[in-house]
Amino acid sequence: MIIMKKDATAEEIEHVIAEIKKYGLRADISKGQFRTIIGLIGDEMRVPFAHLAALPGVKEARMVETPYKLISREYSSPFEAEGKGYIVRVGNIEIGGDEPVYIAGPCAVESQEQLFKTAREVKRAGAHILRGGIFKPRSSVHSFQGLGSLGQNEAEEALSWLREAGNRFDMPVMTEVRGETQVDLVAEYVDILQIGARNMYDQDLMAKVAGKGKPVLFKRHFGASIEEFLSFAEYIAAEGNKDIILCERGIVPVGKGKSLTRYTLDLAAVPVVQKETYLPIIVDPSHATGRRDLIFSMSCAAIAAGSSGLMIEVHHNPAEALVDAQQMITPQELKEIIDTCQKISQVAWRR
């Protein structure tokens, strides 16, 4: 990390960047109100510390120990202050701003009718962003894998429904990409690319997704520590894409016997992540609990904990849902959650 002097000139900054490139390293520039910090990306062994520290305009060349320096508060001077964070903008929606953001929609896109009905109703309930899975990660090969698995034509058709539903009901849309081969196609249709929990460790997928320059919803793996979660989010930032929305979705439950919830929602991850990084983090109570009777309470708790938003699975008729029916709520239930969470945020976020 190269910390420039407060009065460093644009030429001095350019010179440092040129030197960094000469050594086969990449530069990530963070311009704060008072000073510029330049992050070096590449092999640590190749960094000529003494040389860089002596360049005109340089205050300090520092080795940062954290594996997620580019997204850390320590690195990014504009967001050093606790409580202030980076805002990811999608259309006119702000994630990480003053109000919670609600992402809702079915687990899987099942038909045009199902998607449009659900989209209309979640919009009316107060949702900002529409979700819908087209390529579904499933535990069993015998389960419905999403329309995307049926072939290229089916995938494109489902993607075009998602786009149309977003346009018609005025919501940005989001879907998961499970493999590198899907990225180009999906990016043509959606506003936010989702990387699912199972793919949190897939560096190649992340690089490809990040390269599209669109916001990325990045879910925590159910076996990942917070440090691993942030270290892998760093791969997206290292591609030059800081529009990352982190998502806590539960970790593996411990002990023998039945856990009674699908995963264990790690709500402390929310304030911890906010202390470590300036990126926004949201919570997915649907996959975390796997139980519709827990979505209301866990949503309220997440917003009280400071979550910048929620991602909730909603179906216009939950009993008919082809995937994750047990955790699906109705649009009316979503409305009750949003109405209550708005009040909670007004009280709890004042701090």
Binding site for ligand PEP (CB under 6 A): 107, 133, 137, 176, 196-198, 219, 249, 284, 287
**Shortest distance in whole angstroms from residue 195 CB to ligand PEP:** 8
91 to 130: interface string for Mn ion, x by CB under 5 A: ----------------x-----------------------
Do 312 and 285 form a contact (C-beta atoms < 8 A)? yes
Residue of 234, 248, 324, 333 interacting with Mn ion (CB under 5 A): 324
**Shortest distance in whole angstroms from residue 216 CB to ligand PEP:** 13
Q: For residues 84 and 239, give the distance between their C-alpha atoms in angstroms, rounded to a whole number.
A: 23
By a kind-dependent CB cut-off of 5 to 8 A, residue 137 interacts, out of Mn ion, ligand PEP, none, with ligand PEP
In angstroms, the first-to-last Cα distance of the chain is 31
**Residue number, 85 or 196, with CB nearest to ligand PEP:** 196
By a kind-dependent CB cut-off of 5 to 8 A, residue 249 interacts, out of Mn ion, ligand PEP, none, with ligand PEP
**Residue number, 121 or 324, with CB nearest to ligand PEP:** 324
**Residue number, 38 or 217, with CB nearest to ligand PEP:** 217
**Residue number, 38 or 193, with CB nearest to ligand PEP:** 193
By a kind-dependent CB cut-off of 5 to 8 A, residue 270 interacts, out of Mn ion, ligand PEP, none, with none
**Shortest distance in whole angstroms from residue 329 CB to ligand PEP:** 14
Residue 199 burial by Cβ neighbours in a 10 Å radius (0-12, 13-18, 19+): buried
Q: For residues 50 and 105, give the distance between their C-alpha atoms in angstroms, rounded to a whole number.
A: 53
Find the part of the chain contacting Mn ion (CB under 5 A) among 110-118, 168-176, 321-329, 333-341: 321-329
**Residue number, 96 or 285, with CB nearest to ligand PEP:** 285
**Shortest distance in whole angstroms from residue 139 CB to ligand PEP:** 10
**Residue number, 69 or 287, with CB nearest to Mn ion:** 287
**Shortest distance in whole angstroms from residue 217 CB to ligand PEP:** 8
Do 112 and 161 form a contact (C-beta atoms < 8 A)? yes
**Shortest distance in whole angstroms from residue 137 CB to Mn ion:** 9
Nearest position to ligand PEP, beta carbon: 196
Nearest position to Mn ion, beta carbon: 107
**Shortest distance in whole angstroms from residue 107 CB to Mn ion:** 3
Q: What is the binding site for Mn ion (CB under 5 A)?
A: 107, 324
